[in-house]
A and B are shown apart, each in its own frame.
Chain A
Amino acid sequence: MKLYCLSGHPTLPCNVLKFKSTTIMLDCGLDMTSTLNFLPLPLVQSPRLSNLPGWSLKDGNAFLDKELKECSGHVFVDSVPEFCLPETELIDLSTVDVILISNYHCMMALPYITEHTGFTGTVYATEPTVQIGRLLMEELVNFIERVPKAQSASLWKNKDIQRLLPSPLKDAVEVSTWRRCYTMQEVNSALSKIQLVGYSQKIELFGAVQVTPLSSGYALGSSNWIIQSHYEKVSYVSGSSLLTTHPQPMDQASLKNSDVLILTGLTQIPTANPDGMVGEFCSNLALTVRNGGNVLVPCYPSGVIYDLLECLYQYIDSAGLSNIPFYFISPVANSSLEFSQIFAEWLCHNKQTKVYLPEPPFPHAELIQTNKLKHYPSLHGDFSSDFRQPCVVFTGHPSLRFGDVVHFMELWGKSSLNTVIFTEPDFSYLEALAPYQPLAMKCIYCPIDTRLNFIQVSKLLKEVQPLHVVCPEQYTQPPPAQSHRMDLMIDCQPPPMSYRRAEVLALPFKRRYEKIEIMPELADALVPMEIKPGISLATVSAVLHTKDNKHVLQPPPRPAQPSGGKKRKRASEDIPDCKVLKPLLSGSIPVEQFVQTLEKHGFSDIKVEDTAKGHIVLLQEAETLIQIEEDSTHIICDNDEMLRVRLRDLVLKFLQKF
C-alpha cells in the first residue's frame, strides 16, 4: 500500500492512496497562496495600482518592468493571478479510480484534475459539500472573469530569472506549473462527475474496498473517510472540529481500530482560541462603527460567516448597533444564505431542532427579514444606491487579490477610522495587505480556525488508537515562528510518518487475510473436529470462484460417472492430474495398536523389530515391511495395489488429515 503526496499544503491536501487494486485520491486542494505574489485585480480602474513603478534589477536592467511592479518595497507580478496545482507528474492521474472529497475547501482543484488528466473515475462528496463547493468555485471564476486582464506574465517564471528576484518570488515553488483559473464550463463538467453520498453510507469500490464518509464537524457536510477492506482499515482525517458550531458533531468512534490514520487539515493558528477571536471580532467591529468608521471583513461566502452573523445577531442589539447596515456582497451571497437553511440533516442538534418547529436553522433569515443584513451580487447595481456609511461589509476574496474586497480596500484604506478585520486563516494578513501599503486603516487579525489543535489531536489519537499515523511534515515539528513550542506538534507513539510534496510513502501494512464466502452446501459437508479445547479444524476441498473481487468457495463437483460406452481411451487421458492435492497428515502411530488392527484385518505372521528411531513391522507372508517412526511411516511392498491400499487405509486410521 502506497501513499502519493501531491500537495505540500497541510490544510489543502491532495494525496493518492493505492490500496488493494484501487487508486483513490484523497481530496483535491488548491493552494491559492500563490496569488499573494500577484497585484490585486481592481473592479474599478485604480490609478494607484496602475501607476506603481516597474521593478528593475540591481544593475538597473529594467527588462522585467512590464511584468513586475513594486509597492512599498514588495514586488508583485502584474498578471492574471495563478494557482499552485497539486503535483500532476508523480502518478498517472488517469489511473485514479475515485476521488473522495472531505469538505468544500478541499475540492477547489477538482476541475484541473478531472478535466485535464484523462480522469475517468467517480468523485464522491456529500450534498452540502458539492453545493457550497460549487458556490465557492462560481465566486472564484466570477471574481477573475469579470476583470479581464490582457497581460499574462511568464518571463519571470524562467528559472534563471526567478533566481534574481527578491523574496518571496525567488522562493516560490513550482512556478512553472502554476495555472490560471478554470472556467465555469470546466467547473460544471467537473461537478457532473460527483456522486452524492451521505454520512455512514458504505460505498463499494469494485468489490475490493469499501469507503465511508463520516461527519467531521468542521463545515456543512464535511467528512472524514474510512477506507477499508475486511481486514484492513485506513482512516483519512481532514479538516475536523470538536467545537460546537453549526455542523453536525464529529464522529470519532468510527475511526477506532485503524491500521493507518492519515491526519491532515489541523488548525492553521494553533495558538488562537476561536471563541476569544469571535469576541475580539465583535468588540473591534463595535468600536469602529461607534467611532463612525466602516468595517471590512474579507471572507469566503460560506462557513465561518454563518457563525459570525449568528454572533452579531445576538450582539448588535446589546451593543447598540441595530441601525448599522450589514452588507454581504458576493455573486453567490443569496445562494449561500438560502442553501445554509436547507441542510437540516447536516446541522448540529440545536439547529435541527429548530427546523423541526419549523423555523429556519440560522438566524440570518431574521436579519434579512428585518433588513439588518442585505446581500448583493456585486457592488455594482442596487448596492450603490442602498449604500450607507458607517457600515459593515462582508465580502471576498480573503486573499485581497480579487473580488469586491479590492475596491473597499482602495476606498477605505486611506482613513484611520475604518478597520479591516481578518477572520479567515488561509492567508497571511501581512502579505495580503502588502500591495495596499501604505495604509491608514486599522488592521485587526482575528483568525477563526475551528479545526483540531494539537491538544485535541493527542486526545483524539489516544481515543481512537491507530497503529500508525501519517501526516504532513509540518505537523512533526513546531511552527518555524514558534520553534520553542514543542507542544505545537503531533506527539504519538510510534512517531508519525511524515510526508512532503512529491513524496511517495510505503505504508507499514501487511495484508494477511481476505474475505471469502463458503456456500451453505459446502459448509454443511464440512466435518469439524476439535483439536484443542475451543479450537476446531475442518479440511476444505472446494472450487474457488472469483467474480468482481468477491471470492466464493463452492462444493467440489461430484466425480463424473465413468462412461461405459467409450472403451477406447487414449493412455494420456488416464494420467492423473498431479494438481489434485491430498491433505497433509499429522499424528503418530502406536505400534501395538497398529499390529492389533493388522491382525484384526486378517494379516498373520507379523513380526515387530525395534530400531533406533522406532519400529519395523514385518508382514512376512506378504513380503511387506512397514517402518514406523515418530513423524513418518514407510510402506514397502510388492507391486500389489490391493494390498497397498488396504495397508494405507489402516495407517490413515491413526492419523489426522489437514
Chain B
Amino acid sequence: MPEIRVTPLGAGQDVGRSCILVSIAGKNVMLDCGMHMGFNDDRRFPDFSYITRSGRLTDFLDCVIISHFHLDHCGALPYFSEMVGYDGPIYMTHPTQAICPILLEDYRKIAVDKKGEANFFTSQMIKDCMKKVVAVHLHQTVQVDDELEIKAYYAGHVLGAAMFQIKVGSESVVYTGDYNMTPDRHLGAAWIDRCRPNLLITESTYATTIRDSKRCRERDFLKKVHEAVERGGKVLIPVFALGRAQELCILLETFWERMNLKAPIYFSTGLTEKANHYYKLFITWTNQKIRKTFVQRNMFEFKHIKAFDRAFADNPGPMVVFATPGMLHAGQSLQIFRKWAGNEKNMVIMPGYCVQGTVGHKILSGQRKLEMEGRQVLEVKMQVEYMSFSAHADAKGIMQLVGQVEPEGVLLVHGEAKKMEFLKQKIEQELRVSCYMPANGETVTLPTSPSIPVGISLGLLKREMAQGLLPDAKKPRLLHGTLIMKDSNFRLVSSEQALKELGLAEHQLRFTCRVHLHDPRKEQETALRVYSHLKSVLKDHCVQHLPDGSVTVESILIQAAAHSEDPGTKVLLVSWTYQDEELGSYLTSLLKKGLPQAPS
C-alpha cells in the first residue's frame, strides 16, 4: 500500500529549528533546516542522526527545500551540508538565496566571535553550502528528477518566503513554511491554488489567536512609541534585520513625517542599508502598491531613520532604536536592553514571537529579574510591551488556507503543543479533515491510493464517448479493453487491437441451439411468424427478415427447418457467437415459450 510518511526532526510541537522529513512515493524530501534560538547546545540543530544512523544524507535525501531566510528555517544548513555532509540539491527562491548567506554569516559571527564557540561552521562552509543551492521562480515547476517535482507559491511573511508543493505522480504534499494571509505594509498575502494535496503541512504559530485588525495594532504601536518619546524615554524595538523591521520603519517614517517629530530613529546594524537594498532590487516580491509606485518613490529610502552607533545608546534624550536580533537572545539588541532596562521611562516593544529560553520570552512572560551571564542579576524596570507584528497567519488565516488548498489531511508544525491541540480540533470539527501534530522524531503515516495513469488508444476512447457523454446511473455502460503492460509502458487498447498487436488470431466460439416448435405450416411461414413475433417484442433491436427466409436479430441468425420425423413440428436453429451470448440465450428461451396464435 503506498503511503506518505512525515517525521519532524524539528518544529514538531515546537517553534524553532524547523526541519521536516517527508517520504512520498519513494522520494525523501527535507523541508527546512533551521536552528533553535532557545538552545545553545546540541539541541539547537535538528537531530540528523535520525537519518545518518542508516546511511549518508545524500543517499537518503532527494532534495532539501528552504522556505525562507529566517534562521529557524535555514540556520542549520551549513552544519547539515558541510559538517554532516550533504551534496544533493537545495532549493529556495532567489531572495532567500541572496539573503540567507548574510544571516548565516551574522549568526556565525555571534556564535563564534562573541560567544567563542568552537566547532561551529565557518564562512567558507557557508559559501560551499550556498553553491549547492538551486534558485526557483514562483510557480515554476522544478523537475528534481523524472518523477519528483516541486513548485513554489508566494507566502508573504518575509521577502522571498514561499510555500512548496511536492509532487510525485498523483500524490502530493504542500508545505507552507511561515506565511501570512493578510497583506501588510510591504508584502502581499500568501496565495496558492486549489491543488488538493494528500497532505498540507502548515505552521501554527498563532493557532489560537485571532488578531484584531492590523490598523488598530498599528495605531496602538504608534501611540506607545509616541508617548514614550514625549516623556523623554528611549524606545528599543528588537527586530530581525529583514522583514518586520522594514514594515515598522515604513510605519514610523510616515508617522514622524506626519507629526513632524524630531526625536531620532536609529537602525542598529550595518545590515539595514543592505537590507533595504534587497527590498529595492527584489521589489517584485513586495506588495502591489509598492511595486506600482517604485519608479516614482522608493518606499525603502528613509529620511528619518539613520544608522546607529553604539555610542548613541548613552546619549541623553529620547530616541527610538531598532536593534537586532529580535528575541533579545544575543547581539546588539541585548546590549542596549541591558543598558536601558533599569530606567522606568524607557520602553521595549517586542514586535514578534519569542522562542522559549530567550530573554525576550522571559520578559514577555512577566519575569522582571533576569539572571545574566556571570550570575549578574538584571532588574527590568523599563516598560515591556508586546505587539504581534509577526507576519504569521492567525487561526482564521490557517483555516482559510486549509479551505483554499482542500487537502485530504493536515499536519501541524511550528507551534506549541497546547495551541496545536486546539487548532487540530477546530480543523477536524469544522473542516472535517483529519489532522496530525507529531512531536519531533515521531512519524505520521498516511496511506494513499494513487490512481494509475495509462494511455488509452484514441480509437477506443472515441468509440466510447460517441455512445453518449452521460453515463446512465441505472444502466451503467462498460468500457471494455485490454491493458497491455510492457515494462513501465501501460496502454489500454481495444481487444481487437490487442490481438492484432500481439499477432494472435481470434478464436470464434459459436452456439447453435435447436428449438422445437409445434407448427404444421411451411417453414417460410413459420419464419415469418417468428419474425413478426420478435419484431413486436424487441422494439429496440434490429430485427430483419432476409430474402433467404432466415430471420436476424442484430447478429443472431434464426432459421426454420422441417423436423425430419414429425411434419407437425418445425425446428428453429438459433445461432450466435459468444459475444452475443446474453441476447442469444434470451432469444432461445423466448422462442421456447412458443409463438402467439396468428391473428385470424
Quote the shortest CB–CB distance from B95 to chain A (angstroms): 8
Asked whether any CB of chain A lies closer than 8 Å to the CB of B537, the reply is yes
Given the complex, which residues of A lie within 8 Å of B456, measured CB to CB? Answer: 513-516, 551
Which A-chain residue is minimally distant from B451 (CB atoms)? Answer: A517
Quote the shortest CB–CB distance from A455 to chain B (angstroms): 30
Asked whether any CB of chain A lies closer than 8 Å to the CB of B400, the reply is no
Contact of A537 (CB < 8 Å), options: B139, B458, B498 = B498
Known: A198-B138, A577-B475, A585-B509. A641 touches B589 (CB 8 A): yes
B551-600 residues with Cβ-Cβ distance < 8 A to A are 554, 574, 578-583, 585-586, 588-589, 591-592
Asked whether any CB of chain A lies closer than 8 Å to the CB of B492, the reply is yes
Which B-chain residue is minimally distant from A523 (CB atoms)? Answer: B452
Which A-chain residue is minimally distant from B537 (CB atoms)? Answer: A571
In contact, A658 and B475 (Cβ under 8 angstroms): no
In contact, A551 and B452 (Cβ under 8 angstroms): no
Contact of B505 (CB < 8 Å), options: A511, A521, A586 = A586
Interface-centre pick from B97, B98, B475, B496 (highest chain A CB count, 10 A): B98
In contact, B141 and A639 (Cβ under 8 angstroms): no
Query: Considering only CB atoms and an 8 Å cut-off, how many residues of chain A contact the other chain?
Result: 96
Which A-chain residue is minimally distant from B459 (CB atoms)? Answer: A512
Contact of B582 (CB < 8 Å), options: A230, A532, A578, A644 = A578
In contact, B578 and A648 (Cβ under 8 angstroms): yes
Contact of B508 (CB < 8 Å), options: A231, A352, A585 = A585
In contact, B475 and A342 (Cβ under 8 angstroms): no
Asked whether any CB of chain A lies closer than 8 Å to the CB of B512, the reply is yes
Interface-centre pick from B484, B498, B511, B586 (highest chain A CB count, 10 A): B511
When chains A and B are docked, how far (Å) is the Cα of A523 from the Cα of B170?
15
Asked whether any CB of chain B lies closer than 8 Å to the CB of A343, the reply is yes
In contact, B140 and A201 (Cβ under 8 angstroms): yes
In contact, A584 and B499 (Cβ under 8 angstroms): yes
Quote the shortest CB–CB distance from B38 to chain A (angstroms): 30
Given the complex, which residues of B lie within 8 Å of A287, measured CB to CB? Answer: none
Given the complex, which residues of B lie within 8 Å of A519, measured CB to CB? Answer: 451
Given the complex, which residues of B lie within 8 Å of A543, measured CB to CB? Answer: 471, 476-479
Quote the shortest CB–CB distance from A501 to chain B (angstroms): 33
Known: A516-B454, A586-B505, A639-B516. A648 touches B511 (CB 8 A): yes
In contact, A575 and B540 (Cβ under 8 angstroms): yes
Contact of B507 (CB < 8 Å), options: A355, A556, A633, A639 = A633
In contact, B482 and A537 (Cβ under 8 angstroms): yes
Given the complex, which residues of A lie within 8 Å of B138, measured CB to CB? Answer: 198
Contact with B along A559-595 (1 / 0, CB 8 A): 0000000000001101111111111111111000000
In contact, B585 and A644 (Cβ under 8 angstroms): yes
User: Interface residues of B toward A: which range?
Assistant: 35 or more
B474-507 residues with Cβ-Cβ distance < 8 A to A are 475-487, 491-492, 495-496, 498-499, 502, 504-507
Quote the shortest CB–CB distance from A369 to chain B (angstroms): 14
A536-572 residues with Cβ-Cβ distance < 8 A to B are 536-546, 551-553, 556-557, 571-572
Asked whether any CB of chain A lies closer than 8 Å to the CB of B375, the reply is no
Given the complex, which residues of A lie within 8 Å of B504, measured CB to CB? Answer: 586-587
Asked whether any CB of chain B lies closer than 8 Å to the CB of A528, the reply is yes
Given the complex, which residues of A lie within 8 Å of B451, measured CB to CB? Answer: 517-520, 523, 552
When chains A and B are docked, how far (Å) is the Cα of A652 from the Cα of B508?
11
Asked whether any CB of chain B lies closer than 8 Å to the CB of A339, the reply is yes
Quote the shortest CB–CB distance from B464 to chain A (angstroms): 5
When chains A and B are docked, how far (Å) is the Cα of A580 from the Cα of B585?
14
In contact, B458 and A512 (Cβ under 8 angstroms): yes
When chains A and B are docked, how far (Å) is the Cα of A12 from the Cα of B282?
31
Known: A581-B478, A641-B589. A631 touches B508 (CB 8 A): yes
Given the complex, which residues of A lie within 8 Å of B278, measured CB to CB? Answer: 358
Contact of A513 (CB < 8 Å), options: B457, B477, B506, B514 = B457
Known: A199-B140, A202-B141, A513-B456. A572 touches B539 (CB 8 A): yes
Given the complex, which residues of B lie within 8 Å of A335, measured CB to CB? Answer: 295
Quote the shortest CB–CB distance from B575 to chain A (angstroms): 8
Quote the shortest CB–CB distance from A156 to chain B (angstroms): 42
Given the complex, which residues of B lie within 8 Å of A536, measured CB to CB? Answer: 484-486
In contact, B507 and A580 (Cβ under 8 angstroms): no
Enumerate chain B interface residues (CB-CB to A < 8 A): 94, 97-98, 135, 137-142, 151, 170, 274, 277-278, 280-284, 294-295, 449-458, 461, 464-465, 467, 469, 471, 475-487, 491-492, 495-496, 498-499, 502, 504-516, 537-541, 554, 574, 578-583, 585-586, 588-589, 591-592
Enumerate chain A interface residues (CB-CB to B < 8 A): 127, 197-202, 212, 230-231, 334-335, 338-339, 341-345, 352, 355-356, 358-361, 511-521, 523, 526, 528, 531-532, 534-546, 551-553, 556-557, 571-572, 574-589, 630-641, 644, 648, 651-652, 655, 658
Given contacts A202-B141, A516-B456, A578-B583, 15 further A-B contacts (CB under 8 A): A199-B137, A341-B281, A356-B98, A358-B278, A360-B281, A514-B456, A521-B449, A523-B451, A540-B492, A542-B478, A586-B505, A633-B507, A633-B510, A644-B585, A658-B482
